[in-house]
């Protein structure tokens, strides 16, 4: 389904304002949900499409968070006793509901977050996919049996539910990151509290509302299994500090992660951190340059440069650098920038003015550091005076200066040259972040080296594809200040469970490990 014709274009501001808010209300109707009980005056939610108000909500107080945690603990006590495959059944039903409502959910996500509809649909698909993944996982939460050094002993590892998960998420993936963590945590036997970004709470209420519906219809699901705490950083802090929140999964900026990590570590809680990236692609002389161009443009400009995996640094071999930059700038000039609800649009708006100001500050600093800037200016779209639409920028840099080493959450692609693969890898690794990386090359030795221990130091290492667009099966996350967490994929379910190592002696003697002797004279 395409967006309704009348809101795909951007007409006069007043008209759009009422249309988008009405569209949100009608989407909740279609989903059979309401957010009336969340209405208030502390938090105004805007659409980045035109800056119009979508709703005003009430934020959770620290007292509300306390009550939610108490409810979540009660829910956990019941849920952990439900066999894992039956926990999977709840997630299966939820996935079916999301699939049934994919279009309205995509539209809502696009209106609140500003990503283009095809990317919004992709994000909803990711929620559906992770549900299927989690259902399968619910029958595969296995431990190991380890060879014991003692005769007639069995040594086993069990995985048990961990407790309450507090999940803090960012605005740029307002549904998928929550689903990655929560659906897996649910099959692992945990209860959960979601603190979504204050910029995208309506999307959260819709996705969590459908989960609550699935839980209401499922006898084995206790009340309050998944709750939503609407609020800003203070609400996130209350969750991070709470001694009864066993796991804090936090996705967002490095600044946020630094605060959350210390708070959670201070009380010996478990944190899973998914923080900022500053992702690079190397374009080698042997690369298929058409492929590299396509890969680079999508990775740099998708979601208006607001993906954690967005391509921010391009490291191009000096022999092809000028020609490649010329093709890159020509292709950037063809990008259609406009309403994300229009199927023809490539690049929607930035989330808000703060993001725009940050982008302009970064471009100014890049100029001071010797950069040549192409694009980056704000575009005036009729009827969208409070929407922040920009032409994605390419900045030719003389080297990896201070601004290049920072993550600016906007579509800015810094381009640098290199002579040897060693130099390129040193540039790629020469930043504090370690999320995603890629190399475009047809040279097998280069490709292998890049993936090896001598190559990229990132959590994600790609060959001949861009830095963004990860699949759910692989462990997702990054190293260094990106936080080291793996929210989902592969064996990251272990983050949501606790391990018990059990030794059973089925002999009539008591041999001690490592041959320790401790003979006692015990009267029979
Ligand atoms: P942000 O850090 O401003 O906010 C993220 C979330 O943290 C929000 O819910 C916010 O309310 C909360 N928060 C902020 N400060 C907090 C604190 N001190 N204690 C507790 N909670 C706090 O980030 P954002 O602007 O929403 O998102 C963009 C950032 O997120 C970028 O840096 C991006 O790279 C990163 N990100 C990383 C990943 C990943 O998987 N590595 C995925 C998406 C986004």
How confident is the model over 448-468, as pLDDT tens digits?
Answer: 999 999 999 999 999 999 999
Residue 256 CA to ligand 1 centre (angstroms) = 6
- pLDDT tens per residue, range 24-68: 999 999 999 999 999 999 999 999 999 999 999 999 999 999 999
CA of 476, closest atom in ligand 1: 40
Is 340's pLDDT higher than 80? yes
- Residues ≥6 apart with Cβ < 8 Å to 324: 283, 289, 292, 293, 316
The CA distance from 351 to 174, in Å, is 12
274 belongs to the catalytic site: yes
- Cα(198) to ligand 1 centroid in Å equals 10
Burial 41-74 (b: 16+ CB within 10 A, else e): eebebbbbbbbbebbebebbeeebbeebbebbbe
Q: How far is CA 156 from CA 142, 144, 198, 353, 515, in A?
A: 11, 6, 44, 55, 20
User: Could you tell which of 177, 253, 474 is best to mutate to test the pocket of ligand 1, judged by most ligand atoms within 8 Å of the CB?
Assistant: 253
* Cβ atoms of 255 and 236 closer than 8 Å: no
User: Does residue 348's CB lie within 6 angstroms of at least one atom of ligand 1?
Assistant: no
* Mean pLDDT for all residues in the chain: 96
Tally the C-alpha atoms within 13 A of residue 417's C-alpha that lie toward its C-beta. 12
Residue 15: per-residue pLDDT: 45
Residue 251 CA to ligand 1 center (angstroms) comes to 5
DSSP state of 9: S
Q: How far apart are CA 415 and CA 372, in angstroms?
A: 10
Chain Cα centroid distance, residue 158: 29
- Helix, strand or coil for residue 437? strand
pLDDT of residue 247: 98
CB 362 within 8 A of CB 401: no
Select which of 131, 235, 304, 308 is catalytic: 308
Tell me, what's the pLDDT at 8?
46
Q: Which of 219, 273, 267, 218 is nearest to 243 (CA)?
A: 267
Q: Each residue of 236-289: pLDDT tens digit? A: 999 999 999 999 999 999 999 999 999 999 999 999 999 999 999 999 999 999
d(CA 79, CA 101): 27
Residue of 89, 112, 123, 274 marked active site:
274
Ligand 1: does its nearest atom lie under 6 Å from the Cβ of 197? yes
Atom of ligand 1 nearest to the CA of 232: 11
Of the candidates 412, 438, 464, 416, the one whose C-alpha atom is nearest the C-alpha of residue 301 is 412
What stretch of H or E contains 372?
strand 372-374
The pick from 201, 256, 487 for probing ligand 1's pocket by mutation, whose C-beta has the most ligand atoms within 8 angstroms, reads 256
Report residue 9's pLDDT band, with 50, 70 and 90 as the boundaries.
low
- Check pocket membership of 204 for ligand 1, CB cut-off 6 A: no
Distance 323 CA to ligand 1 centre (A): 37
Instruction: State in Å: Cα 127 to ligand 1 middle.
Output: 19
What's the whole-number mean pLDDT along residues 214-219?
98
Locate the ligand 1 atom nearest the alpha carbon of residue 252 and give its number: 30
For the beta carbon of residue 95, count every other beta carbon within 10 angstroms.
23
Please tell me whether residue 106 adopts helix, strand or coil conformation.
helix
Q: Using an 8 Å Cβ cutoff, are 286 and 446 in contact? A: yes
CB 447 within 8 A of CB 288: no
Asked if pLDDT for residue 1 goes beyond 80, the answer is no
* pLDDT at residue 472 greater than cutoff 50: yes
Task: Please give the C-alpha separations between residue 259 and each of 82, 271, 455, in angstroms, as whole numbers.
Answer: 35, 12, 30
Ligand 1 neighbourhood includes 27 CB (under 6 angstroms): no
Q: Which atom of ligand 1 is nearest to the CA of 483?
A: 41
The pLDDT score that the predictor gives to residue 383 is: 85
* pLDDT at 524 (0 to 100): 84
- Name the residue at shortest CA distance from atom 9 of ligand 1: 197
Whether 237 is in the pocket of ligand 1, judged by its Cβ within 6 Å, is yes
Which percentage of the chain shows pLDDT scores above 70?
97
pLDDT for the residue numbered 18 = 66
Please check whether residue 480 is in contact with residue 435, taking contact to mean a CB–CB distance below 8 angstroms.
Answer: no
- Please work out whether the CB of residue 259 comes within 6 Å of at least one atom of ligand 1: yes
Ligand 1 centroid – CA 416 distance (Å): 28
How does residue 490 score in pLDDT terms, banded at 50, 70 and 90?
Answer: very high
171 ligand 1 Cβ < 6 A = yes
- The mean pLDDT of 15-27, rounded to a whole number, is 82
Tell whether ligand 1 has an atom less than 6 A from the beta carbon of residue 180.
no
The more confident residue out of 29 and 13 is 29
Percent of the chain with pLDDT over 90: 95
Task: Choose the residue to mutate in 65, 119, 170 for probing ligand 1, maximizing ligand atoms within 8 Å of C-beta.
Answer: 170
Are 491 and 475 within 8 A, CB to CB?
A: yes
Atom 43 in ligand 1: residue holding the nearest Cα: 308
Q: What pLDDT sits at residue 385?
A: 87
Is pLDDT above 60 for 2? Answer: no
Lowest model confidence (mean pLDDT) among 112-116, 216-220, 366-370, 383-387: 383-387
The predicted-structure confidence for 276-305, as pLDDT tens digits, reads as follows 999 999 999 999 999 999 999 999 999 999
Closest among 329, 316, 294 to 469, alpha carbons compared:
294
Mean per-residue pLDDT for 158-164?
98
Ligand 1: centre distance to CA 235 (Å)? 13
Compute the distance from residue 447 Cα to the ligand 1 centre, in Å.
Answer: 32
Q: For ligand 1, atom 6, which residue shows the shortest CA distance?
A: 170
C-alpha 219 – ligand 1 centre gap (Å): 35
State pLDDT tens for residues 68-99. 999 999 999 999 999 999 999 999 999 999 99
Phi/psi at 305 (nearest 5 deg)? 70, 15
**Does the C-beta of 168 come closer than 6 Å to ligand 1?**
yes
């Amino acid at each position: 389904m395409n967006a309704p014709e009348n809101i795909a274009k951007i007409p006069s501001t007043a008209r759009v304002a009422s249309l988008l808010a009405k569209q949100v209300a009608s989407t909740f109707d279609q989903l059979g949900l309401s957010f009336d009980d969340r209405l208030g005056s502390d938090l105004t939610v805007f659409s980045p499409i035109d800056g119009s108000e979508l709703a005003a909500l009430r934020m959770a107080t620290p007292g509300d968070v306390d009550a939610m945690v108490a409810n979540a603990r009660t829910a956990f006590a019941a849920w952990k006793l439900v066999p894992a495959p039956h926990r999977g059944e709840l997630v299966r039903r939820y996935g079916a509901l999301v699939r049934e409502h994919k279009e309205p959910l995509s539209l809502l996500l696009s209106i609140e977050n500003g990503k283009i509809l095809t990317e919004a649909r992709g994000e909803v698909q990711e929620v559906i996919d992770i549900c299927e993944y989690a259902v399968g996982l619910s029958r595969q939460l296995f431990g190991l049996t380890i060879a014991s050094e003692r005769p007639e002993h069995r040594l086993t590892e069990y995985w048990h539910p961990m407790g309450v998960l507090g999940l803090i998420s960012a605005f740029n993936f307002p549904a998928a990151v929550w689903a990655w963590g929560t659906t897996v945590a649910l099959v692992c036997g945990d209860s959960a509290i979601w603190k979504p970004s204050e910029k995208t709470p309506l999307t959260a209420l819709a996705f969590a509302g459908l989960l609550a519906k699935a839980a209401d219809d499922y006898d084995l699901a206790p009340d309050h299994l998944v709750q939503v705490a609407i609020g800003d950083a203070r609400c996130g802090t209350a969750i991070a500090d709470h001694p009864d929140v066993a796991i804090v999964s936090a996705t967002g900026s490095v600044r946020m992660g630094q605060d959350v990590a210390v708070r959670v570590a201070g009380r010996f809680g478990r944190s899973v951190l998914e923080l900022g990236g500053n992702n690079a692609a190397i374009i080698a002389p042997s690369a298929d340059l058409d492929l590299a161009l396509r890969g680079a443009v999508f990775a740099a400009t998708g979601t208006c440069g607001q993906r954690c995996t967005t391509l921010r640094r391009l490291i191009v071999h000096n022999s092809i650098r000028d020609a490649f930059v010329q093709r890159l700038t020509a292709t950037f000039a063809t990008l259609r920038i406009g309403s994300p609800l229009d199927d023809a649009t490539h690049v929607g708006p930035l989330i808000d003015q703060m993001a725009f100001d940050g982008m302009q500050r970064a471009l100014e600093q890049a100029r001071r550091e010797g950069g040549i800037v192409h694009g980056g200016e704000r575009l005036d779209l009729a009827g969208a005076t409070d929407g922040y639409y920009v032409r994605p920028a390419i900045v030719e840099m003389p080297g990896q200066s201070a601004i290049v080493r920072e993550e600016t959450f906007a579509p800015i692609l810094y381009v640098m040259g290199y002579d040897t693969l060693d130099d390129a890898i040193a540039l790629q690794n020469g930043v504090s972040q370690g999320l995603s990386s890629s190399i475009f090359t047809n040279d097998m030795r280069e490709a292998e080296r890049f993936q090896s221990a001598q190559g990229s130091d990132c959590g994600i290492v790609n060959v001949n594809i861009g830095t963004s667009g990860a699949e759910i099966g692989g462990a997702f996350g990054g190293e260094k200040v990106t936080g080291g967490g793996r929210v989902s994929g592969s064996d990251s379910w272990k983050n949501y469970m606790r391990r018990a190592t059990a030794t059973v002696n089925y002999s009539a003697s008591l041999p001690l490990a490592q041959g320790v002797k401790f003979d006692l004279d015990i009267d029979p």
